[in-house]
Amino acid sequence: MKKILLTVLLTALPALAWGGDELPTPLNNAAAINLVQEHANYLWTLVAATLVFFMQAGFAMVEAGFTRAKNSVNIMMKNLMDFSMGSIAFYTIGFGLMFGATNTGWFGTSDFFLSGWSPDGDPWVLAFWMFQCVFAATAATIVSGAMAERTKFTSYLIYSLFLCAFIYPIFGSWAWGSLLNGSGWLEKLGFIDFAGSTVVHSVGGWAALAGAIVLGPRIGKYGPKGEVRAIPGHNIPIAALGVFILWMGWFGFNPGSTTTADKSIAMIFVNTNMSAAAGAILAMITSWAMFKKPDVGMSLNGALAGLVGITAGCANVGPLSSIIIGAIAGVLVVISVVTIDRMHIDDPVGAVSVHGVCGAWGTLAAGLFNMGGTTIKIISTQLIGIGAAFIWAFGVAFILFKVIDLTVGLRVSEKEEMEGLDIGEHGANAYHDFVTTK
């Protein structure tokens, strides 16, 4: 630690870009200015990555809080492991498929194992990788919620690896292109998805939908006459903490997607905040109108709906548009949760509605509310991207879950589900000293 420190302290006029003998000139000063700006870019990209990383804790708290105490250990393990395994999968395979310098037009074919970096080379690829890695893991963790309380742990690990290694990065390459050459087909069409309403959230949400369908509902969720029964969450304070953590993390997710420390991040911050606020308020009002009381689960999901909704357009719509986008997302998420439940698709935390549906809405909204004006072409491109994400993510994930189901098996036994996955899968009790009702 010390050597670097002394360099800072002892050099009254340190030579940033010119040598000791060289005098400062406009030209080497210009190089030094660019170097300082680059340092700011590294700083911002990596601080933003830190905030996005922390979203893993937010997802873990939301998912555990909204489900039953007897499955909490399993949820912690899934969230820990999808990030850990996802990091390794994105390092070995995913990043290369998504951003590889050479590519087939459909995915990259180089830069696996971070091979584009060498100790003497430009370290920017490492900063960029770090930011992209926490994004990939976010997509994976979304699925966890929709499949909570009944999925085999081993099967979850397989799926999670596959999403970070293949499903997410291949779609990502279509929309965000490759790092060093060319770009994906959606990008070339002009598809707008600044921070990933579609690339991250819808991809995660539609995979979650496939998982929830293949798994089937939790025991007791739907009555003998098909009536929908509520299975309440067990810890609302930690669920709310999770939402606050996610909201904070989104201040890395959206403005960090600039990967540049410039003035444009200010509007992205404001947009992100306004949409989340409007989403929470409108979801509360909608739930109040539908259920006669302001519902905490819906209000919390409303904030997330607003955040997902503004993710695509955060850099190309204004603050007032952001309020409208978030407000509509807040209404949409309540309607979607109720509708999906009536279709007997059991999504314990509302992940499909929050990430899939509001991700699609946000992607469309990025075209509709574009500050520079909108056109049929813009809208149709957005719709193509939305459709491509659904077909790809739902389709491939559906096949994947079916294959897992037919081989290792996707779902735990009925006995284990009743007892809780904590005992069956992990031999543990999340709340050992408390008397619980089941």
* Interactions with a second copy, residue window 404-433 (CB under 8 A): 425-433
Residue 296 touching a second copy (CB under 8 A): yes
Instruction: Pick the closest to residue 201 from 20, 92, 417, 362 (CA basis).
Output: 362
Instruction: Work out how close the CB of 295 gets to a second copy at its nearest, in angstroms, rounded to a whole number.
Output: 7
Residue 104 touching a second copy (CB under 8 A): no
Residue 114 touching a second copy (CB under 8 A): yes
Q: Quick one: which of 189, 221, 222, 294 contacts a second copy (CB under 8 A)?
A: 294
Instruction: Give residues with Cβ within 8 angstroms of 319, minimum separation 6.
Output: 267, 270, 271, 274
Instruction: Indicate the residue among 50 and 109 with the shorter CB distance to a second copy.
Output: 50
Instruction: Indicate the residue among 68 and 150 with the shorter CB distance to a second copy.
Output: 68
Instruction: Indicate the residue among 73 and 333 with the shorter CB distance to a second copy.
Output: 73
Residue 109 burial (C-beta neighbours within 10 Å; 0-12, 13-18, 19+)? middle
Instruction: Work out how close the CB of 430 gets to a second copy at its nearest, in angstroms, rounded to a whole number.
Output: 4
Residue 253 touching a second copy (CB under 8 A): no
- CA atoms within 13 Å, Cβ hemisphere of 120: 0
DSSP-H helix ranges across 90-164: 95-99, 124-146, 153-162
Residue 229 burial (C-beta neighbours within 10 Å; 0-12, 13-18, 19+)? exposed
Q: Quick one: which of 189, 240, 338, 379 contacts a second copy (CB under 8 A)?
A: 240
Residue 98 touching a second copy (CB under 8 A): no
| Of residues 175-234, those binding a second copy (CB under 8 A) | 176-177, 179-180, 183, 187, 194-195, 232-234
Q: How far is CA 152 from CA 138, 148, 412, in A?
A: 20, 10, 5
| Of residues 126-145, those binding a second copy (CB under 8 A) | 126-130, 133
Instruction: Count the residues of the shown chain that bind a second copy, applying the rule CB under 8 A.
Output: 149
Residue 21 touching a second copy (CB under 8 A): no
Query: Are 106 and 173 spatial neighbours (Cβ–Cβ below 8 Å)?
Result: yes
Instruction: Pick the closest to residue 148 from 236, 237, 239, 63 (CA basis).
Output: 63
Residue 56 touching a second copy (CB under 8 A): yes
Instruction: Indicate the residue among 59 and 206 with the shorter CB distance to a second copy.
Output: 59
- CA atoms within 13 Å, Cβ hemisphere of 47: 12
List the structure tokens of 130: 């770090």
What crossing angle do the helices spanning 376-389 and 168-176 adopt, rounded to 10°?
160
Residue 295 touching a second copy (CB under 8 A): yes
With tokens 């290369």, the residue in question is 96
| Of residues 309-328, those binding a second copy (CB under 8 A) | 318-320, 323
Residue 84 touching a second copy (CB under 8 A): yes
Q: Quick one: which of 73, 140, 209, 324 contacts a second copy (CB under 8 A)?
A: 73
| Of residues 351-390, those binding a second copy (CB under 8 A) | 371
